[in-house]
Structure 1
Amino acid sequence: MGVHGREEAGPGAPADALGEQILDAAREQFMTFGLRRSTVDDVARRAGVSRVTVYRRIGNKDSLVSACLLREYRRFVEEVDEAVAALPTPEDRLVEGFAAVLRHIREHPLVGGLLRLEPETMLPFLTVESGPAFLAIRSYLAGRLREVRRLEGGPETDPTPVAELMVRITVSFLLNPVSCFELDDDTQVRDFARRCLVPLLAA
């Protein structure tokens, strides 16, 4: 979540060239027609491959959606890391990273668009079907927290619980934007992160 600068690829390993081709096609298909109106056959035709190839490389439709979303989340993390890398402290990077993630996902043409237009379809992929993405992002953020502690000479404790809490808080705001502050107001979002998330770094 932007706690440290870029040092490694984000969560979720890139697919091979054919896998990327299929995921590119899936992204365009889902952005154009949404999830409900899209099928594996649609994605296969757009990718110029057979339906069997999609199943062998990625899996069924749910697997295709999950893989496509995981790749987008990986890109979020990489972009946020790059955006906050020059900030001087882990606290500053966390605050700006949290604000950037909320803003980036809301404005994203695929994820944000699906959350607005098909929230009931997207819900499983942010909750019960989100296991791979959740674990990947939690692991990535925990690695960032661990590196920060190492560089600052902090105690060698497991940062995974703190990373998990940060991910869960972020997802909860995306799923339910009703809040005591305006999520569209970066100043209020930063203030929340400074008051409520930064203290977790010392946990």
Structure 2
Amino acid sequence: MDGLPRSSTARRLRAGAGHATLAAVIALVGLVALPGTASASGTHTVKPVLNCYRENPDDSWTVVVGYVNSSRTTVDIPRGPGNQALPSRFASLPPTSFRPGTVNGAFTAVVSRADLYAGARWVLDGYTLDYRAAASSSPACPSSTELPAQGNGLGPAIGLAAAGVVGTVWVLRARARGTAGGRDDA
């Protein structure tokens, strides 16, 4: 054995520092991989649009909602007065990050007839999209249209986070196997 024996505490501290460094590098790579974002700052750049609607047999409507972002960057608008779907049970449906250009089918909602007449709407970046009023100038969804699943557009972010966790676990296990195989207990 060369030199002084290493204490198990020192090995654990070094391994912990290595794991923390690895986690920081993975987090940094995740942040760099995300597209640049800008926040809405008083200028109205994102407008909600009703892509189409479908009248359901129970007198409710399925609305397919998108948006147009006229800026050249992704705009983040958190939920609140500048980004809210009403009635409140739809509050979690709209996205909070808006890519440049036109995005169709950002989310769908099944809205009752009573909610339609009570003013079901999406307020976004200073614009209000009243679903019932917008239907007069929007097409009905063709019966062959496959409607997007209801959701808020967080799928890619959740996928990126899950990949980071899986990658970290994989690297840590590989390191543990390498350390266990090269141990010198003499």
Q: TM-score, normalised by structure 2?
A: 0.26
- Larger Rg, first or second structure (1 or 2): 2
Structure with more of its chain in strand, by fraction:
2
Larger RCO, structures 1/2 (Cα 8 Å, 6+ apart): 1
